[in-house]
Structure 1
Amino acid sequence: MVAAALAAALVSAAFIVPHLGFRSVTPLINSTAEEIRQFAETAPIFGWWDAHVGWGTPVAVAIAIGVVAWGPGLAQAMRWRRLTFVVWLASAAWAMSLAMIDGWQLGFAGRLTKPPEYLIEVPGVTDIPAMLRGFSGRILESQPDSWTAHVSGHPPGALLTFVWLDRIGLGGGAWAGALCVAVGSSAAMAVLVAVRALGDETLARRVAPFVVLAPTAIWIAVSADGYYAGVTAWGLALLALGATRSTWAAMAASLGAGVLLGWGIYLNYGLVLMGLPAIAVLVTARNYRPLLGAVIGALAVAAAFTASGFWWFEGYSLVQQRYWQGIAQNRPFAYWAWANLASLVCAVGLAPAAALNRVFTLSELRSRKALNLLVVACLVAVLAADLSALSKAETERIWLPFAVWLIAAPGLLPTHSHRFWLCVQAATALLLNSLILTNW
């Protein structure tokens, strides 16, 4: 309770400090009143104050009540395979119900069609090989044909995904959003698979209701970062399967893990940090043989992009320049260094904070318990991203690939407290989504 209270105090401070008149400990400097309203009105969350309800509100409330009332019991009683699919479907339903609080167009179909987003660039990609060869040349904002903010800020994998989706006849915001929800919500299933594969089915079942009823669902529906989270979560899940299976199945899973984790770093430069939880998986399993297959799979992805004309390191160097050309130069580190963490608390809820004393239990860490090591690895990755000063603001969505593992931590809490913390998680998501019109 003390840890949860401290996390709540951090969030409160992040919301209050911008209104105290400090010159440097503020979300935005050297900006007009309109720019502050546009980019920092509800800091540390990116959005605008707008108390509202929608037809998704009663659905979200019903799902929350159902998961709180019956989720823990069903998670223990269901057959394993059925449970994993139910968790995936329930997670997707929770995400969609929260999105529908904002309405179909505003909350779902129109999210990825806004000017900074990926779909704006899709019609202009008529030649995929030419796009890949010339991708880096359009990253800097000074270029006359520079990409939109999100396309320029990421490797070409994300744009390529939406171009492929359009090429098979599934163009437009609704289909792109559906992909993000389907893949992003499947991360809940991947977390369960990984925890069970690493030797603790009982804990995986205890985790199930928490990965369903998570505030992260607000940004999984429908930001592209939800898609990234699902891809990398399955990369870690396959790595866990590869580390705990034998013969050909282990090699196939390891190769698949490498391909997905390799694809992840061509979706988001920062996902090189997924190497930390990947190491945690191997340390937990006490098996490093899957590393060979994973490296081969990741190198195959890198080789394909390099042969197509995109050099990852050049793109990363140019993205850093683009980052400091934009609004990042007006976002002071003095505020965002700690407000980023408040954004993360908003995304994962207070329950993971309440579980931290059980995560950092020395005996559990020494015995290499899977969930403990995975949560610690993701926290280290988040702190590294934070201290890099390349993740200032919007971390409620940017850190989703790490957040989906943090929301499993409450499974370590005493079972008699689970319904209380599930209520806290649901209330957090509903309040945030209903009081703030989130930008993502």
Structure 2
Amino acid sequence: MVGAVVVLVAASAYVGRRLLDEGVDIFLGWPPLLAEWLPHVGPGTPGALVVAVAVVVWGPQVADRLRWRPLLWLAWGTAFVWTMALALVDGWQRGIVERLTSSQEYLHDVPRVTALGGIGPMLRVFSDHILTTAVDPGQTWFWTTHVGGHPAGAFLLFAALDRIGLGSGGAVGVVVMVVGSSAAAAVAVTVRALGHEDLARRVLPFSVLLPGAVWVGVSADGLFAGWLAWGVALLAVATVRRGLASTAAATGAGLVLGYALYLSYGLVLGALLPLAVVVATRRWWVVGPALVGVLVVVAGFTAAGFWWFTGYADVKVIYAASIAASRPYAYFVWANLAAAAFALGPAAVAALRRAPALPRAALLLVGAATAAILLADLSGMSKAEVERIWLPFVVWAVLACGTLPHPRRWLLAQALLALAVNHLLLTVW
């Protein structure tokens, strides 16, 4: 499996370079990744090496023996330090502060919220400024690429962070990494709630050393991954509770999952994950309160003036007129999978072959994540940059790593890939 994916990556690099040489602007400096070749070290290098060695040497043993709650906090903290250290390989300014403050990112447009009169007025006119002048010459101004390319909920989060004094590039970057790295704990909570604590413990070290952490620090998609993961975890918890506790957890899950729909249009495919939880447990009664939670979020955004389907229709228009127009579907429909392999790592790639050996509930989650990736790929709405865009699904595919023998060897492979990517390439996120 790993050998086959290495060939796929090599082929995508070769064909991508040929396309560039032929004048096809695929907007990738180092196909299949959005990156450029730039070997370097930075202040995060020592920390990343220490975390990698610690998790490889002691991770499986600690995950097996430590009490559950301390283990979750330790895993979350270690995942955060790993993500932060990888980001700091590029330095504090370039690796963290500047990631979400560029002219195409969320923080660039935050001052417009005040200019529009606040968050309420901003939501009312959000859809009016998605189309660019390239498709609507009468447009007076339009949102930057990432603001307009996502539902209003994503920008609302960053505007809210600014309101509470966390609007700088550094502060937002840290918040994104804290939430993104929490996906490791959320996935473990989900699997334990489904009755497989032993599997959750085996998977935790792999979730911590996820190569996708390169893009969790710092891209908004890392935050989306953590957000969606906790929504699924809450629903799983609801299936093992009874009475009011179950209803409260399911409703909370619905609120979190409903808001996820307003973080990224592609997270509609994330609905496959909570569906897998319900199918695995057959606790159908949690669907009702969960749907109530989702509808509350939908009703709130709609009443505020943002209609999801209008936003999505406009995004399809600007996507067709963007750099996606010169990115050939025939190349990216398979090169995307090579890019995603960098986020998954060799362990997850190898483990997918062993996925049928997983317990039924875990297998359904891995299947849901894989299906979401394949559907996103075939849709043509994800041409390149999927090493970050698909992070909300990648964190669940890692569950398959619980079936691997010799976990330390595979953890070492995961760490080496992440270290190589961040030290040999300069990624945009």
TM-score range, shorter chain: over 0.9
Equivalent position SS for 1:437: strand
Equivalent position SS for 2:381: coil
1:91/1:185 contact within 8 Å kept: yes
Who is 1:7 aligned against?
A: 5
Q: CA offset at residue 55 of structure 1?
A: 1.6
Choose the corresponding residue for 1:63, options 51, 54, 58. Answer: 51
Residue 379 (1) aligns with residue 370 (2):
yes
Distance 1:249 1:71 in 2: 33
Who is 1:435 aligned against?
A: 424
Distance 2:21 2:421 in 1: 19
Q: CA offset at residue 27 of structure 1?
A: 10
Choose the corresponding residue for 1:79, options 45, 67, 70. Answer: 67
Who is 2:284 aligned against?
A: 288
Stretches of structure 2 that go unaligned for 5 or more consecutive residues are 134-138
1:76/1:206 contact within 8 Å kept: yes
Give the 3 Å change call, closer, same or farther, for CA 231–27 of structure 1 in structure 2. Answer: farther
Q: CA offset at residue 379 of structure 1?
A: 0.5
Equivalent position SS for 1:393: coil
Equivalent position SS for 1:215: coil
Task: Figure out how many residues of one structure are paired with residues of the other and give that number.
Answer: 421
1:228-270 per-residue CA deviation (whole Å, 9 max, x = no partner) reads 1111000000010011211111111101111111100100011
Letter of the 2:396 partner, please give it. W
Give the 3 Å change call, closer, same or farther, for CA 28–227 of structure 1 in structure 2. Answer: farther
1:28/1:331 contact within 8 Å kept: no
Distance 2:315 2:57 in 1: 47
Using the size of structure 1 for normalisation, the TM-score is 0.94
Q: CA offset at residue 28 of structure 1?
A: 9.1
Letter of the 2:420 partner, please give it. L
Who is 2:136 aligned against?
A: none
1:203-233 per-residue CA deviation (whole Å, 9 max, x = no partner) reads 1000110000111111111111111111100
Q: CA offset at residue 29 of structure 1?
A: 5.7
Distance 2:6 2:291 in 1: 40
Distance 2:7 2:24 in 1: 28
Q: CA offset at residue 293 of structure 1?
A: 1.1
2:16/2:32 contact within 8 Å kept: no
Choose the corresponding residue for 1:49, options 37, 51, 62. Answer: 37
Choose the corresponding residue for 1:129, options 120, 139, 143. Answer: 120
Who is 1:407 aligned against?
A: 398
Give the 3 Å change call, closer, same or farther, for CA 333–135 of structure 1 in structure 2. Answer: same
Q: CA offset at residue 43 of structure 1?
A: 1.4
Distance 1:144 1:408 in 2: 48
Distance 2:296 2:222 in 1: 24
Who is 2:312 aligned against?
A: 316
Choose the corresponding residue for 2:258, options 257, 262, 274. Answer: 262
Runs of 4+ in 1 over 3 A off after TM superposition: 26-31
Who is 2:210 aligned against?
A: 214
Letter of the 2:403 partner, please give it. L
1:117-139 per-residue CA deviation (whole Å, 9 max, x = no partner) reads 00000011012111111111111
Distance 2:173 2:228 in 1: 18
Distance 1:7 1:369 in 2: 26
* RMSD of aligned Cα (Å): 1.3
Who is 1:343 aligned against?
A: 339
Who is 2:99 aligned against?
A: 111
Distance 1:408 1:309 in 2: 39
Distance 1:292 1:54 in 2: 50
Choose the corresponding residue for 1:149, options 137, 145, 151. Answer: 145
2:211/2:415 contact within 8 Å kept: yes
Equivalent position SS for 1:289: helix
Residue 230 (1) aligns with residue 218 (2):
no
Using the size of structure 2 for normalisation, the TM-score is 0.96
Equivalent position SS for 2:426: strand
